[in-house]
Chain A
Amino acid sequence: NAGVTQTPKFQVLKTGQSMTLQCAQDMNHEYMSWYRQDPGMGLRLIHYSVGAGITDQGEVPNGYNVSRSTTEDFPLRLLSAAPSQTSVYFCASSPNPYEQYFGPGTRLTVT
């Protein structure tokens, strides 16, 4: 198993550009989540999904969209990038509400 994979590892965007951060897992996990990590603030939940076709907002959802058309994939879309979205983004998956398996992260800079 590859576990949780994220692409790209690094990305630089200009203000106003859009892009999609990819997340995939090959463990057949129902639960998937997106977090952002900013210095000194820990991780904050952006969006999460409890299964294919079901998504919900987390703590900081504004400026981001998600969809879950398959169990394996959970892409995060930035509609119009802003400097405040400069952060490290982590995707996680889990088979139940008790465990989390994190991907390696995507470091995003918006100029």
Chain B
Amino acid sequence: KQEVTQIPAALSVPEGENLVLNCSFTDSAIYNLQWFRQDPGKGLTSLLLIQSSQREQTSGRLNASLDKSSGRSTLYIAASQPGDSATYLCAVRRDNAGNMLTFGGGTRLMVKP
């Protein structure tokens, strides 16, 4: 059974810092991995999706990497801003048949002005 772990569970940083969020998964046979952002009381917004054949994806100040063989992904946020404060979730997709995602518990990020 696939298990996804995110460390740390919570993180507080001053504005302007570069930071890394970690995601690990137990079964390397994944189809792709997706990072989401969740604001309090809201649904999830997709940030980046990395196919299993890819090593990284970039969008603005965000960069996600994937090392499938070691079961790890990182989300790098450059020059953090207070507006980045949210919970960040990673999820792995088992295959391309049923769209089943297995989620980690999330990292709650607070960026202080």
Contacts and interface: CB of A to CB of B under 8 A. Distances in A.
Interface of A: 4, 31, 33, 35, 40-45, 48, 50, 56, 58-59, 90, 92, 94, 97-105
Given A43-B89, A97-B93, A102-B45, 8 more contacts: A31-B98, A40-B9, A42-B106, A45-B100, A50-B98, A58-B100, A98-B49, A98-B93
B42 A104 contact: yes
A35 to B, nearest CB: 8
B76 interface: no
Interface string B83-104: 0000001010101111111111
B106 to A, nearest CB: 6
Given A31-B99, A56-B98, A97-B97, A102 B104 contact: no
8 contacts: A4-B43, A43-B91, A45-B102, A50-B97, A59-B102, A90-B44, A97-B96, A98-B49
B75 interface: no
A100 B45 CA distance: 8
A42 B104 contact: yes
Interface residues of B, number: 29
A68 to B, nearest CB: 13
A103 B4 CA distance: 23
The 4 closest A-B pairs by CB, nearest first: A42-B103, A102-B43, A97-B96, A102-B44
Given A31-B99, A42-B4, A43-B103, A103 B89 contact: no
A50 to B, nearest CB: 6
Contacts of A43: 44, 89, 91, 101, 103
B32 interface: yes
A44 B106 CA distance: 13
B46 interface: yes
Nearest to B49: A98
Contacts of A92: 44
